[in-house]
Amino acid sequence: MRAEVLDEPQLEFGGGSGHVDPRFGLTAYGPADLGAPDAPTAIRVGMVGPADQLDGLRQWLERCREPIPAKDERYPHLFPSFPGCDIDRGLYTTLVFSDRNTRQVPDRALRALEKLSRVESTRQAVDLYAEELTALAEENRVDLMIVARPEQLKDTRTRRQMRTARRGRGPKGNPNSGFENFHDLLKARMLHVRQPLQIVRRSTWDEATTPPPGRGRQDEASRAWNLHIAMYYKAGGVPWRLRRLSTELTTCFVGISFYRGNDGASLDTAVAHVFNERGDGVIVRGGAAHISKEDNQPHLAAGDAHKLLQTALDTYRREHQTLPARVVIHKSSRFVADEIAGFDSAADARDLAALDLIWITDSEDSQLFRPGVAPPLRGTLLTLTPTEHALYTGGSIEFYSTYPGMYVPHPIGIRPAQLTRSPREVAMELLALSKMNWNQARLDGRYPITLRTAEKVKRVLRFCDPGQAIATRYAQYM
């Protein structure tokens, strides 16, 4: 058994400059695509929602052009100020609003939702919003559509309810199965349009509105950071990217997960998120999985594994006009022999130089303790055996001078089935991939973006018919 603390990986920002924290990197250097011809220097924003929210939300976003002060002087690195978002600061872009691109959802129709059941009110709200969003998208005057979420809905689970759902589900089941919510239903309905959606709760911009039960509210600067980074990415921008040496192989990372349709009757289906170092991601839906009698988990037959990776690489090539030299597949369940054979044959068919297969476990039994009360440092790697490792992606963070979590952190498990790099190099990649999350501006994501996004995508796809065409761009799902 051996333990070591890995250095915090740097991300790449404007001018090729690096920093460990996305917010400080953006403030100092701007986004990674700063100065690029296709960088979104002006984002045309459409807005859909209740009349009493649209004005307030737009005013708050206009105010975010200017700096927002930090929350807490005791931890300036954990709660930094927001530098403002305009053409000369922050993300070096500006949000462009127009009354022509603003559509109100009728108050009478929204009030009627209060008389319906939870399920019916959610479905009716999605119908109301989808009609306005489709019409706005067809006019093709906006790059992004902001959705002011209706307050009448009761479709939000508390964290306690989510934990209860996870305990009650089958192995690798879907804790959201059977639970319809506005976010996932609306995203599924709008996958056919080009413009991504940004759904915003009133409590995000209105200090007088209480967040949903069981959910806290971040400080205003943090909310501004998270929302503007997400919108910049959805508009086609590259806030930051992974750093790569010119001598390293070009690599793409694939996260594979499984989902079951919301009716609960259809078979588990594989979904892959293919992701490159630049931050571009494409989504590919695979075939049906089978439940193994050995571990009661969904797995792919050799032919389906081959087809999934081959389709993923073909989609990647259409999007990026090239193929990577190395592919790393992350999976939340173990790799069986048929899957390994199928992925290997697909890699051979595409002449890949290297293929790594890594099972990442969610709950790792092994834990470390430090003297005193502080948890282990983020980046602590514990090697148990040559094929068993535990990595703390959460924990005490030197740059923040504190542990920013509320509960005792648990490491993720690394169980490689096939490697072309050392376990230490794989752990460094996982640390870096945990920071590629454009819904959160902090540096300490728990999961690599590959698996985190695969989970988000399957929450939306469970509402799609098996034969329905789906969007390939991850921005449509987040």
What is the structure's pLDDT at 358? 97
What is the structure's pLDDT at 264? 62
What is the structure's pLDDT at 220? 96
What is the structure's pLDDT at 164? 44
Low-confidence residues in the chain, pLDDT < 50: 158-177
What is the structure's pLDDT at 321? 84
- For the four alpha carbons of 228, 229, 234 and 239, in that order, the dihedral sign comes to positive
What is the structure's pLDDT at 369? 87
What is the structure's pLDDT at 281? 79
Burial track 411-424 (b if 16+ CB lie within 10 A, e otherwise): bbbbbbbebebebe
pLDDT in tens, 73-106: 789 999 999 999 999 999 999 999 999 999 999 9
CA dihedral of 437, 440, 446, 451, whole degrees rounded to 10 = -30
Q: How far apart are CA 440 and CA 465, in angstroms?
A: 30
